Structure 1
Amino acid sequence: MSLLLLIVVFTLVGGVLSILAASLLLLLPERQRSVALPHGVSFAIGALLCVAFWGLLPHAVEQAGLEHAHGLFMTVLVGILSFFLLEKLLLWRHCHSHDCEAHTHMEEHLHLHQPAGTLIVLGDAIHNFVDGVLIAAAFLIDPELGIVTSLAVAAHEIPQEVGDFAILLQSGYGRRKAFIYNLMSSLSTVVGGLAGYMSLGEVRGLLPYFLAVAASSFIYIAVADLIPTLHKRTHAKATVEQMVMIVAGVLLIYWVHGFAHRFEGGG
């Protein structure tokens, strides 16, 4: 399979399939959904952190050389601070429920009218486009890395899209319209992947820094957005469940990376 086709397929996995999975979750009764979503968030934390620290950053240092390690880790720091500022501007949101602070702040100022939904779709399109570029950068370094990166994107997109669906419905959109708008914004992941494939190949020397930006994105999402939601459940049983799902996310990425490596080696 050609590299371009791989990028198209796995940006679809990271974008469109997460929308479909979120739609199925919304069909569940409220009680079952309230149980499933926290487990999905815990799983996403493990997947994101494993890809960042076990996949993206080691590959970035390996590609650039140890002499560039300081620059790469400075890129991670600048990336985390930049995502913080973008989130403050509501351009880069990672809400995973309809009642998160960013959504509540938006609701207070836009009174749950359709412009609120339009802003959500716009923010998601920007976010998904950048995800697509970062997935393409990972594939250009190593197809195995691209696969696990796209899976980590999908893992955190599913609970996020559930929250986005909820706020769109509260903003007055029908279910069909909310689905179509979210699907359209998810297609920007594919557009970002194609843009990355066509442009990043010309600047291969910068690819390790794109991997560092991807790592900073995953670390920021996991630490600044997802982990705080887990602290809302503090009893021992919840903590054990959270750790089990986090480890499951780590193990899945580890297994997929190993499977992809053996598959390519066998081919």
Structure 2
Amino acid sequence: MNVFWGLMIPFFGTTLGAACVFFMKKELNPLVQKGFLGFAAGVMVAASVWSLLIPAMDMNARMGRLAFIPAAVGFLIGIGFLLFMDRTVPHLHLDSEENEGPKCNLKKTTMLVLAVTLHNIPEGLSAGAVFAGALSGNETVTMAGAFALAIGIAIQNFPEGAIISMPLRGNGMSRRKSFVYGTASGAVEPIAGGLTLLLAKYITPVLPYLLAFAAGAMIYVVVEELIPEASEGEHSNIGTLAFAGGFVLMMVLDVALG
């Protein structure tokens, strides 16, 4: 039961963020949006390093100087997977009029939600993989560390929920429907995490690869989307400072709770 709630924590973060649409104006202040994007990027980078890549290498300490191989291979596969999804799933980024991926006739709101959903898949996989590692009794991954990762993802999901629901409201959608769309974008996380846990007995032998895979997918999102959007235009230092704050917070959570 504790693991179930652990997988739900990131989803709760998205839901709370999407609920901002009931209390805030129709549009999100551009500076606040830059701060949110930078903060989310910082959390994801720190989580990729401390919660995913380092444990992946520690699990293969017996390989000596070659312990980096599973982590490196998994990381590159994760990058490749998100690149493939980016090219094959139609989605639309904020402040963009032309969708990425194949041309389609989907509504703008649907493609905005798909863009955030793509971000959330690797986060769900990473949470599921870490909890699977903790349940397997692996000494390098603790239950406290798994919850630290889940809490960190939830913290960065809060602004993501707001970033998706507020623009939808600004485009004329009702508050209730904007909230539902924003919340739905995070539903993939507990689903991906749950599927990972269901396959845990098959995953355990390749757990280092899976942890690194999730890290690669998260870093792809950060470098390809979050950082460019946070650095765009004036006042890019807001995104940079928020990145530092998110990175330090996730690092502290992982070390203190892990």
Q: Same fold judged by TM-score > 0.5?
A: yes
Aligned to 2:211: 211
TM-score by length of 1: 0.75
Partner Cα separation in structure 2 for residue 6 and residue 220 of structure 1: 30
Local SS of the residue matching 1:15: helix
CA deviations on 1:153-206 (whole Å, 9 max, x unpaired) are 334433433343256457774321232244344333222222222212333111
Cα distance, 1:248 vs. partner? 1.5
1:3-82 matched pairs, under 5 angstroms: 5-24=1-20, 27-29=23-25, 33-65=29-61, 66=63, 67-82=66-81
CA contact (8 A) 1:38 1:230 kept: yes
1:108-257 matched pairs, under 5 angstroms: 115-121=107-113, 128=120, 130-141=122-133, 142=141, 143-166=143-166, 168-169=168-169, 173-234=173-234, 238-239=236-237, 241-257=238-254
Change in Cα spacing, 1:207 to 1:191, as seen in structure 2 (3 Å) is same
TM-score by length of 2: 0.78
Cα distance, 1:125 vs. partner? 5.3
1:105 correspondence with 2:104: no
Cα distance, 1:57 vs. partner? 0.6
Change in Cα spacing, 1:11 to 1:179, as seen in structure 2 (3 Å) is same
Identity %: 20
Local SS of the residue matching 2:98: helix
Cα distance, 1:60 vs. partner? 0.3
CA contact (8 A) 2:92 2:112 kept: no
Local SS of the residue matching 1:190: helix
CA contact (8 A) 2:53 2:215 kept: yes
CA contact (8 A) 1:14 1:151 kept: yes
In the alignment, residue 191 of structure 1 is paired with which amino acid? I
In the alignment, residue 227 of structure 2 is paired with which amino acid? I
* Structure 1 ranges of 4+ moved more than 6 A: none
Change in Cα spacing, 1:219 to 1:33, as seen in structure 2 (3 Å) is same
Cα distance, 1:52 vs. partner? 1.2
Partner Cα separation in structure 1 for residue 11 and residue 249 of structure 2: 19
Q: How many residues align?
A: 245
CA contact (8 A) 2:27 2:169 kept: no
Partner Cα separation in structure 2 for residue 56 and residue 123 of structure 1: 23
Partner Cα separation in structure 1 for residue 99 and residue 89 of structure 2: 9
CA contact (8 A) 2:119 2:218 kept: no
In the alignment, residue 32 of structure 2 is paired with which amino acid? A
Change in Cα spacing, 1:54 to 1:184, as seen in structure 2 (3 Å) is closer
Unaligned runs of 5+ in 1: 262-267
In the alignment, residue 3 of structure 2 is paired with which amino acid? I
CA contact (8 A) 1:7 1:194 kept: no
Unaligned runs of 5+ in 2: 134-140
CA contact (8 A) 1:94 1:160 kept: no
